[in-house]
A and B are shown apart, each in its own frame.
Chain A
Amino acid sequence: MIELEHVSKRFTLDDKTVTAVDDVSLKIFDGEIFGIIGFSGAGKSTLVRCINLLERPDVGNVKINNIEFTSLKPKDLYNARKKIGMIFQQFNLMPSRTVFQNVAYPLKGMSKDAISKKVRELLNLVEIGDKENAYPSELSGGQKQRVAIARALANEPDILLCDEATSALDPQTTYSILKLLKELNKKLSLTIVVITHEMEVVKTICTRAAVMDAGRIVETGDVFNIFSRPQHQMTKNFVRSTSHLSKLDDLMRENSPMVELKPGEMLVKLTYGQLDVSEPLISIAARQFNIDLNIVLADVEIVAGALIGGTVLILSGEAAKIHEAVNYFKSKGVRVDVIKSEIEDAIYKEEEVYAETEVRL
């Protein structure tokens, strides 16, 4: 278990002081894939570097598997670090060494044969066994990161720290590296800490996550909860920025014809979260209440094994039937926000509800 207790780290540059990490307390449990997300400059890198003490906190304790890292003697710290692997955005492979030699770098005090065996085993584990004699300059980004992972795992660590490990990679390669990390997490019961500014990454592999802003952790929790019920404004911004539904605001602002209503129509946003939407709600509603449901935007995906997201619809039909349909959705646990309404008897006052579009998706 990784325990950070009231960790703070300041930097002073030309008499300007930046509090990169501000009183952060955090527990990361064994076998977790824990995400730390935040915008650039939030202090994520500094925080993760405090875990293996590449950066020594000004205040606070760092405990890993019940060992007080902050009070270790240099020599013990060097040994302790061998049990915490780390990978980086820029891969940081040694250019003058081959793939084999890079992975062999952290292996010491072993016979030549034992080292060869271990290196080959690691290279096969990350599925790059055919490249052992290549130099890093001859590899693609994804291949480099695989080598870096193999090297980080050489001393059989319990923990792997990933600082923006996929940020220099294209989406497909990112996905393959994330998949590899997930497999390693299972196979080796490796605890993984993932630093990223990409919500996608957290969504794809993390079980829990913390959101960081200006050196502080503003929200911690299950990834699913963070996505479906973000509490802090920063988190909401993050979630919004990754959802296609955020386009709704643009459409509204531009008065796009897509969201133009004829009399008797209503624009609504349905938000799913934490529920089983295996029922075809929309088509049921259409049939049952005899109304038209026209999908304007949809963004539904699976996060941490559950469905999350929403749909923006234009409902048209008899006012009473629309009302019934809305109640039907609500009864199924779907959140309904009315964005705009052109219904005569105005059951829904748009002024009242419009403010809510700012709220979550």
Chain B
Amino acid sequence: MHEVLVEWLPNLMKRLPEFWKAAGDTVLMEVWAGAICFVLGMIFGIILTVTKPGGIMENRPVYQTLDKIINLFRSIPFIILLTALMPLSRFIMGTAIYVRGVIVPLVFGATPFFSRQVESALAQTDKGLIEAALSMGSSPFEIIFRVYLRESVAPLTRATTITAISLLGLTAMAGAVGAGGLGDFAIRYGHDRNMIDITWVTVIVLVLAVSIVQWLGDKIARKNTH
């Protein structure tokens, strides 16, 4: 087995520890940035949903401001966000490189996208359910948790899946500015030194990761659809 692998993947097998480290870094970036982005995106998505005109806590200034900020960040290409946010990253995380240094731009890159995804997931909630809940004396907060979130598990799962996958893409890009991870690994060896086997293995690992996330997301979504 080992011999076969060495024969087919000579460059990778020589750098196996480095490969595992890179994969671990990617997982770290994905999990940390993903977790922060999940919490923030949920909060922003909910705020957008309830404050929009006709929402249960309608509030024009709050909605307009948040809406504009999200649009602003969504229109900035991630590669530019990466460099533009370096000072902020140094301020918050103490560094602008390695996994630590790239969490801030990853969060800024993915949160606006996820907030919109959450907003549109929650918007699928039947207005009639909100009406019914109001008529039963539910407070706005109760409606957020017991109606909006509870009834939107499936679309929220789908939103999370999509965001997790696109975040994986961003972590690969972040590799370019010294964050490490699989993207960096593939560029440094696969591209710069023309080690095709490394490129291919990285691609396969990423495709597998995406498939697993997608499969898990679909499974949860299906389980919550009645």
Q: Is the interface of B mostly helix, strand, loop or mixed?
A: helix
- Distance from A168 Cβ to chain B, minimum over Cβ atoms (Å): 12
A8 on the B face (CB < 8 A): no
Q: Which of A61-91 contact B (CB under 8 A)?
A: 74-75, 78-82, 84-86, 88, 90-91
Q: How far is the CA of A74 from the CA of B138 in the complex (A)?
A: 11
Contacts of B147 in A (CB 8 A): 94
Residues of B contacting A85 with CB < 8 Å?
135-136
A-B contact count (CB 8 A): 66
Q: Chain B nearest CB: distance from A99 CB in Å?
A: 11
Q: Which of B133, B135, B137, B226 touches A96 (beta carbons < 8 Å)?
A: B226
Which B122-175 residues have C-beta < 8 A from chain A?
A: 126, 128-129, 131-139, 146-147, 150-151, 153
B224: chain A residues at CB < 8 Å are 96
Q: Cβ of B135 and Cβ of A54 under 8 Å apart?
A: yes
CB distance A92 to B128 under 8 Å?
yes
Name the contact of A88 in the complex, choosing from B131, B139, B226 (C-beta under 8 A). Answer: B131
A78 touches B138 (CB 8 A): yes
Given contacts A105-B146, A135-B226, A137-B226, whether A92 and B137 have CB atoms under 8 Å apart is no
A79 to chain B, nearest CB (A): 6
Given A95-B151, A96-B150, A135-B226, also A105-B136 (CB < 8 A): yes
- Whether B129 pairs with A155 at a CB distance below 8 angstroms is no
Q: In the complex, A219→B195 CA distance in Å?
A: 87
**Once the chains are docked, how many angstroms separate the CA of A97 from the CA of B150?**
9
Asked if A197 is at the interface (CB within 8 A of a chain B CB), the reply is: no
Q: What number of B residues sit within 8 Å (CB to CB) of A?
A: 19
A96 touches B151 (CB 8 A): yes
When distances are taken between beta carbons in the complex, the residues of chain A under 8 Å from B137 are 78-82, 106, 155
Query: Could you say which of A75, A81, A90, A97 contacts B136, with CB atoms under 8 Å apart?
Result: A81
Nearest A-chain residue to B128, judged by Cβ: A92
**Given the complex, which residues of A lie within 8 Å of B134, measured CB to CB?**
54, 81
Q: What's the Cα separation between A135 and B225 when bound, in Å?
A: 10
Distance of A155 Cα from B28 Cα, bound (Å): 49
A136 — nearest CB in chain B belongs to which residue? B226
Kindly state the separation between the CA atoms of A93 and B151 in the bound complex, as whole angstroms: 11
Closest to A84 in B: B135
Choose one: B132, B138, B146, B150; the contact of A92 (CB below 8 Å).
Answer: B132
Least CB separation from A151: chain B residue: B136
| Shortest distance between the CB of B155 and any CB in chain A (Å) | 11
For B150, the chain A residues whose CB sits under 8 A away are 94, 96-97
Tell whether A52 is near chain B: CB-to-CB under 8 Å. Answer: yes
- List the B residue with the shortest CB-CB distance to A79: B137
Choose one: A74, A91, A92, A161; the contact of B139 (CB below 8 Å): A74
Contacts known (A79-B137, A137-B226); A88 close to B128, Cβ less than 8 A: yes
Question: What are some 20 contacts across the A-B interface (CB < 8 A)?
Answer: A54-B131, A54-B134, A79-B137, A81-B134, A84-B135, A85-B135, A86-B136, A88-B132, A90-B128, A95-B151, A96-B224, A105-B133, A105-B136, A135-B226, A137-B226, A148-B132, A151-B132, A151-B136, A154-B136, A161-B135
B-side residues, CB < 8 A to A, are: 126, 128-129, 131-139, 146-147, 150-151, 153, 224, 226
Q: A78-B137, A86-B136, A94-B132 are in contact. List 14 more A-B contacts (CB 8 A).
A: A78-B138, A81-B135, A86-B135, A90-B126, A90-B128, A91-B128, A92-B128, A93-B132, A94-B147, A95-B226, A137-B226, A154-B136, A155-B137, A161-B135
